[in-house]
């Protein structure tokens, strides 16, 4: 082990004790660190989250942060778990499809509050404490569904995948515009113009016909919430009786 007590062995951050027995009491907590990182990401985008920024934000020296978070990757894991704590789980109603749709709506709202979340969501973070609470609650909602447990987990994964992809699409233009020196409208404008010119080439007749009805962009004037509900409901309809 190095002088600073920073291990280079495989570990999961959640199994690390927050407080070791021996030395001075830690001046910070994982919660406050995660909260600061989330604050920065919400305000300025995920690319503004750096070890230096977060450390400064909680009033610590940069390298002190490494006593709490072994790598930046683990900081991301903390962030995802922190916002996963925002779910409000209510008792299952008995209608598992309605319950899962309500959960999916919560996920969508969560991602709109934290637009960096879809990008950061990774299957390897899927076993953080709050992720486990989420899975447990999902299984509780799925109690009335008579399929093997393994398939229930598949169902939850499928729903979450659909939700993540859907909301990523909703947020994509805005997120990209925030990271670049021009506005979302300008971004949308050049993309639409490019697409229009390609479609006018006649190489993609079916696509041209398909987008001629609506705008080609993910949500020009549509009620996104309604489309979202419909997509998730359709997926849920593929399971069970």
Residue 214 makes contact with a copy of itself by CB under 8 A: yes
Rg for the chain, CA atoms, rounded: 22
Residue 72 makes contact with DNA by CB under 7 A: yes
Q: Which does 28 bind (CB under 5 to 8 A by kind): a copy of itself, DNA, none?
A: DNA
Residue 152 makes contact with a copy of itself by CB under 8 A: yes
The residue from 64, 130, 162, 192 that contacts DNA (CB under 7 A) is: 64
**If we measure between CA atoms, which residue out of 151, 163, 72, 69 comes closest to residue 121?**
163
Q: How far is the CB of 157 from a copy of itself (least distance, A)?
A: 7
Return all residues near 154 (Cβ < 8 A) that are at least 6 apart: none
The 8 Å CB, 24+ separation contacts for 42-48 are 42/113, 42/114, 42/115, 42/116, 45/116, 45/175, 45/178, 45/179, 46/116, 46/119, 46/120, 47/179
* Residues near a copy of itself (CB under 8 A), total: 73
Residue 50 makes contact with DNA by CB under 7 A: yes
Q: Which does 23 bind (CB under 5 to 8 A by kind): a copy of itself, DNA, none?
A: DNA
Q: Which stretch binds DNA (CB under 7 A): 61-69, 89-97, 204-212, 232-240?
A: 61-69
Q: Which does 43 bind (CB under 5 to 8 A by kind): DNA, a copy of itself, none?
A: none
Report the C-alpha gap between 2 and 176 in whole angstroms. 40
Return all residues near 183 (Cβ < 8 A) that are at least 6 apart: 177
Return left, alpha or beta for 25; rule: phi > 0 is left, psi -120 to 50 is alpha, else beta. beta
Residue 160 makes contact with a copy of itself by CB under 8 A: yes
| Binding characters for DNA, 10-29, by CB under 7 A (x = yes) | ---------xxxxxxxxxx-
The residue from 209, 220, 223, 225 that contacts a copy of itself (CB under 8 A) is: 209
Residue 39 makes contact with DNA by CB under 7 A: no
Name the residues that contact DNA, by CB under 7 A.
1-6, 8, 19-28, 49-53, 60-64, 66-68, 71-73
């Amino acid at each position: 082990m190095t002088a600073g007590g920073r291990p280079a062995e495989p570990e999961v951050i959640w199994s690390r004790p927050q407080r070791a027995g021996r030395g001075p009491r830690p001046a910070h907590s994982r919660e406050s660190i995660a909260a600061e990182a989330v604050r920065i990401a919400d305000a300025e985008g995920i690319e503004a989250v750096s070890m230096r920024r977060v450390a400064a934000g909680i009033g610590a020296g940069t390298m002190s942060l490494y006593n709490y978070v072994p790598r930046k990757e683990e900081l991301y894991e903390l962030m995802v778990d922190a916002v996963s704590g925002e779910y409000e789980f209510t008792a299952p109603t008995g209608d598992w499809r309605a319950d899962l749709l309500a959960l999916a709506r919560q996920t969508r709202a969560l991602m709109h509050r934290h637009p960096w979340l879809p990008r950061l969501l990774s299957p390897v973070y899927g076993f953080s404490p709050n992720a486990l609470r989420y899975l447990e609650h999902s299984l509780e909602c799925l109690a009335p569904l008579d399929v093997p447990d393994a398939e229930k987990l598949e169902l939850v994964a499928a729903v979450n995948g659909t939700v993540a992809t859907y909301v990523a699409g909703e947020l994509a233009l805005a997120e990209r515009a925030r990271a670049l020196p021009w506005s979302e409208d300008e971004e949308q404008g050049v993309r639409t113009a490019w697409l229009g010119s390609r479609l006018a080439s006649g190489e993609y007749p079916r696509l041209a016909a398909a987008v001629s009805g609506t705008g080609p962009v993910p949500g020009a004037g549509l009620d996104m919430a309604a489309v979202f509900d419909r997509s998730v409901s359709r997926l849920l309809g593929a399971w069970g009786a």
